[in-house]
Copies of this chain bind each other. A is one copy, B any other.
Amino acid sequence: MSQKLNVIKIGGNVLDNADNLERFLTDFALVPGLKVLVHGGGTIASEIGKKMGMEPIMINGRRVTDANTLHLVTMVYGGLLNKNLVAQLQARKCNALGLTGADANVIPAHKRPVEDIDYGFVGDVESPEKVNVEFLTSLAHQGIVPVFAALTHDGEGNMLNTNADTIASTLAVALSRQFEVNLVYCFEKKGVLLDVTDESSVIHHLQPSYYQELKNTGAIFAGMLPKLDNAFAALEQGVKAVIIGDAAELQDIAAGGKAGTRITL
C-alpha cells in the first residue's frame, strides 16, 4: 500500500493574520506523515506593491500580471512569504524547503495564451505527468517538507504567476502516482455550506450523486462550483480525497475527523 501524503493549500485568511498563521504553522508541523504546503499571498503582494507605487491591475476581477507585477509576486511569494514560512516551520522542527515550480523544474508551465484578455505573465501548468515527482519523492524519503509559492516558469527564463489552487491540485494528482494523496484546501469557512450564511450547515461528505443533486436544486453557492468541479477532476485523476475546511481545524481534518467537507468519488 502506498504511503499517505497530504497536500495542504492555504490562502489569504491564514497568511494575512499573524495569529492565524502562528496557529496554522504549529498545527501543520504536527500533521503526521508526508506533507506538502502550497501558499498564495495576493493581499500582501498588493500591500507591498502600493508602497512601491503600484496599483493592482484587475480585469473582470482577475489580476493582470505585467512585468512589474511579476517582479512583485516573485519577490513576495517566492521570497518574503515562502522563506518566512520555511524559517518558521524549521523553528517548529518541520524540515521545510521552499520551492517554486521553476526549482528543479518541478512544475513546468507556459504563459497563458492571449485570447480576449491578456493576463500577462500568468502560468498555465503543463499536465501533472510533467511534474518532477522523482525529485519530490526524494525529498519525501529524506523527511523534507516542500513549501510551494504560487509561481511556475516557462522553461524559457521567465517566472510565471500561477494560481495556488491549481498548483495544489496539479501536485496532488502528480503525487498520486507514488502516494495515497489527500488534497486539503484551507479557506475562510468551516467547509462547503448548504446555507452560505450559516456556518453550522457544513456538508460533511460530498460524492458525485449528491453534488449533482445539489447542483440541480441550486443549493450550492455559485462561487463554490469551480472549486468543486476542480476537486472532482482531481479525484478522477487519482487523488484519494479532497477536503475543504477551516485552517483552524487542520488537526481534525488531517486525522480524518469530521471537520470540513470531505469530497470523494
Residues on A facing B (Cβ under 8 Å): 48, 51-53, 71, 74-80, 82-84, 86-88, 90-91, 95-100, 102-105, 134-135, 138, 142, 144, 151, 153-159
**Across the interface, do A78 and B87 meet the contact criterion of CB distance under 8 Å?**
no
Q: Smallest Cβ distance from A226 to chain B, in angstroms?
A: 28
The SS class assigned to the A binding surface is helix
Contacts of A157 in B (CB 8 A): 87-88, 90-91
**Across the interface, do A153 and B87 meet the contact criterion of CB distance under 8 Å?**
yes
- Enumerate 17 A-B pairs (CB-CB under 8 Å) in ascending A order: A51-B53, A74-B83, A75-B76, A75-B79, A77-B79, A79-B79, A83-B103, A83-B159, A87-B102, A90-B102, A90-B157, A91-B155, A95-B104, A96-B103, A96-B104, A138-B138, A138-B142
**Across the interface, do A71 and B80 meet the contact criterion of CB distance under 8 Å?**
yes
This chain's copy number in the assembly: 2
Residue of B nearest to A105 (CB): B90
**Across the interface, do B79 and A80 meet the contact criterion of CB distance under 8 Å?**
yes
Using known A-B contacts A53-B51, A144-B104, determine if residue A80 contacts B90 with beta carbons closer than 8 Å.
Answer: no
Q: Give which listed residue, B52, B91, B155, contacts A90 with CB less than 8 A.
A: B155
Extra 4 A-B pairs, beta carbons < 8 Å, given A78-B98, A90-B155: A51-B53, A77-B79, A86-B153, A96-B103
Residue of B nearest to A25 (CB): B157
Q: Smallest Cβ distance from A133 to chain B, in angstroms?
A: 13
Contacts of A105 in B (CB 8 A): 90, 95
Bound Cα distance A51, B68 (Å) = 12
Bound Cα distance A157, B134 (Å) = 29
Q: Smallest Cβ distance from A159 to chain B, in angstroms?
A: 5
Residue of B nearest to A106 (CB): B97
Q: Give which listed residue, B87, B97, B99, contacts A159 with CB less than 8 A.
A: B87
**Across the interface, do B159 and A84 meet the contact criterion of CB distance under 8 Å?**
yes
Interface centre among A76, A103, A154, A155 (most CB of B within 10 A): A103
**Across the interface, do A104 and B100 meet the contact criterion of CB distance under 8 Å?**
no
**Across the interface, do A78 and B88 meet the contact criterion of CB distance under 8 Å?**
no
Residue of B nearest to A141 (CB): B138
Residue of B nearest to A77 (CB): B79
Using known A-B contacts A51-B53, A75-B76, A95-B105, determine if residue A83 contacts B156 with beta carbons closer than 8 Å.
Answer: no
